[in-house]
Amino acid sequence: MADSFTQVYLQLVFSTYRRQPFIAQEWKGELHKYITGILKNQQQVPIRINSMPDHIHILFGMKPQRSMSEVIREIKADSTNWVKKNGWANGKFRWQNGYALFSYSQSHLDRVVKYIERQEYHHRSMKYEDEYTRILDLYKIDRIGKKVFD
């Protein structure tokens, strides 16, 4: 029987609960490394992670060994527990319930990586809420009747 071949690139975006500025500059790099480890342990391929105090962008190659919902649930649960265990964010850290997930072709990865790397620049002039809804609109994701933010 022939092997299976996949190429799925996803950008996962979600905020802290109620967009609280929990993610501190002093430890955000450690958070990114920890989430990289979560992805690798799930046989996923981390490409780029960056965050602001109130949200995170995770670009990764999705492998079919796990479902998307399992991968996302594990990222959120494990990273929340890890942040709390380290005593950061006064033990109040948590992620929003929802998320946004976008797929890309390999030919667009460089552009997406640059966008993620330049988060600090983007957010000098744009709030997270505006960025998030703009991306949802750009990808024509229907928001009618849905709760966008916690």
> Which tens digits make up the pLDDT trace of 24-56?
999 999 999 999 999 999 999 999 999 999 999
For residue 91, the model assigns a pLDDT of 85
Phi, then psi, of 18 in degrees rounded to 5: 55, 25
Rounded distance between C-alpha atoms, residue 4 and residue 109, angstroms: 22
- When pLDDT is cut at 50, 70 and 90, the band that residue 99 belongs to is very high
E strands, 1-150, are 8-15, 45-52, 55-62, 100-104
Mean pLDDT value across residues 101-125: 95
Domain chopping of the chain, boundaries: 8-138
> What is the number of helices (H) and of strands (E) in the chain?
5, 4
Homologous superfamily assigned to 8-138: Transposase IS200-like (3.30.70.1290)
Chain CA centroid to CA 143, Å: 19
Which residue type occupies 76?
A: K
pLDDT tens string 2-27: 888 889 999 999 999 999 999 999 99
Report the predicted TM-score, pTM, of the whole model to 2 decimal places: 0.93
Across the beta sheet with 8-15, the strand order is 45-52, 55-62, 8-15, 100-104
